[in-house]
Amino acid sequence: MKKNIPNIITSLNLLLGWTSIYFAYLGEINWAITVILLASLFDYLDGFAARKFNVQSSLGAQLDSFADLITFGIAPAVIVFFVSSMSLLFVEKDMGFWLFLALGLIPLLGAIRLARFNTVKEESTFFIGLPIPAFALITISLTWTYIEFNTLIVNIANYEIIFPIIILLISFLMVSKWKFLSLKKKNLNFDQNKLLFIWVISSLFFLVLLIIFGNSFLILPIVLFLYLLFSLINNLIQ
């Protein structure tokens, strides 16, 4: 029974990704985003369970990648499509097809990222290229922020086009050679993980600050922005 637990958790991740796509289709974007957040928890738990019970397998690894592609590659692209296609610009100018085609780059780049992860040995202290779950979390956090601040940014010229372009630009980080911070540490030595500790401490600081001022919905975007920032710093100083 133990050997099947990680694969069951991975399957739940996949089903949640499929459910997120359904909610996006219905226009229930907040639910679509919430489901992906829940799926990210299952994505962590399947690997934890595999290591805990020592039942890691090639089948589990392939299933995990397939689930990640659906949940963290296809579902975020669908969410961005439906959010962006709601604007009159895409409706009136019949640009929906081209938007859909362009956003197809997201699962494509995600698939390349996952294939590289499965075939190229990466150092345990960092990831080479933005991990696809991190990309998905960045995408949904920006989408959430986009929705919350919609009334504030509505007057920005071509904001309907700028939003999906930003997401597409971020997606190329998945196939970049940049080194991104990894939480999969074999040790917690401060000298070897300074930037990781600084990121965690900074995130906790903003977490408390935003809760105090009642802007908790900004927690995830800021934490992920700091992740990108400290990963960039890591590349510059090495």
- Note the pLDDT tens digit of each residue in 58-82: 887 889 999 999 999 999 999 999 9
Same domain, 18 and 126: yes
pLDDT value of residue 119: 85
Residue 155: pLDDT over 60: no
pLDDT value of residue 97: 82
Same domain, 26 and 62: yes
Angle between helices 29-52 and 58-69 (to 10 degrees): 170
Domain count, the chain: 2
Same domain, 129 and 23: yes
Measure Cα distances from 74 to 37, 158, 220 in Å. 15, 25, 21
Same domain, 214 and 234: yes
Same domain, 204 and 216: yes
Residues of the chain above pLDDT 70, percent: 87
Over its C-alpha atoms, the chain yields an Rg (Å, rounded) of 18
Same domain, 109 and 194: no
Which domain, by its residues, includes 65? Answer: 2-184
The rounded distance, in Å, linking the Cα atoms of 145 and 97 is 25
- Minimal CA–CA distance to 84: which of 170, 146, 173? 146
- Phi and psi at 123, nearest 5°, equal -65, 145
Residues of the chain above pLDDT 90, percent: 43
- The stretch 42-62 carries a mean pLDDT of 82
Question: Which one-letter amino acid corresponds to residue 123?
Answer: E
For the ranges 127-136, 147-156, 175-184, 189-198, the one whose mean pLDDT is highest: 127-136
The answer to whether 42 and 10 have CB atoms below 8 angstroms apart is yes
State both tokens at 117: 């992860």
Question: Which one-letter amino acid corresponds to residue 159?
Answer: Y
The answer to whether 77 and 99 have CB atoms below 8 angstroms apart is no
Q: Is the dihedral of CA 186, 190, 195, 196 positive or negative?
A: positive
